[in-house]
Amino acid sequence: MENFSSKLLQAAVEEFSKLPGIGRKTSLRLVLHLLRQEKEDVSFFANAIERLRKEVVYCKTCHNISDKEICDICSSPRRDKSLICVVEDLRDVIAIENTGQYHGLYHVLGGIISPMDGIGPDDLQIESLIKRINNSSVQEIILALSTTMEGDTTNFYIYRKLEDKKIKISAIARGIAIGDELEYADEVTLGRSIMNRTPYQLNIPNPR
């Protein structure tokens, strides 16, 4: 334990070092940085953290993080309401939104089935997904979970729950990343990308 000359400094350093991946030295560096900033800026920072935890809610429809009961994506008239993309968590929503290629809705499971971590189907938003599909005009769901054993298990579980419904179930394409060289690709990915080959398309520049 370091010898700090200030209890306030010590308290702040201890709070920062509780964050994942932030050690004591980094924590001290961050705290000293804040000490050099304007009082208002530091208040703003503290306030953003406090409000985040107190005011943020989960969208009642898709369980994504939101400022309102129904999130901006679910309530937008410009989104295709016949399409739901099933993802593990918020970060996946951000990643897909950043592509600018998807205009449907989402369903955030809040994790994947992982018996090793004690996470079963009932801990995830799977039941609410089934209800949502029953009560709406959804025509297709896209499974976009990790390609791990846990992801595959979750995909299969959802598939079994939905197979007798009149709904298209697809999964995002897996294959060699654009720009990657074949010789460095792992065998499983390369094998799947051959099995799931697609009709050849001329690479026409994006018309937008």
Contact residues toward a second copy (CB under 8 A) are: 2-9, 11-12, 14-15, 18-22, 26, 28-35, 37, 39, 42-56, 59, 64-67, 71-73, 89-91, 93-94, 97-98
Of 11 and 172, the one with the shorter C-beta distance to a second copy is 11
Q: What's the min distance (Å) between Cβ of 143 and a second copy?
A: 20
- Nearest in space to 108 (alpha carbons), one of 99, 150, 118, 94: 94
CB closer to a second copy, 71 vs 145: 71
Q: How far is the CB of 109 from a second copy (least distance, A)?
A: 15
What does residue 78 show for φ and ψ, rounded to 5 degrees? -90, -5
196 CB-side CA count, 13 A: 13
Nearer to a second copy (CB atom), residue 91 or residue 160: 91
What's the one-letter identity of residue 84? I
Query: For residue 108, which of 128, 89, 122 has the smallest C-alpha distance?
Result: 89
Least Å distance, CB 130 to a second copy, is 23
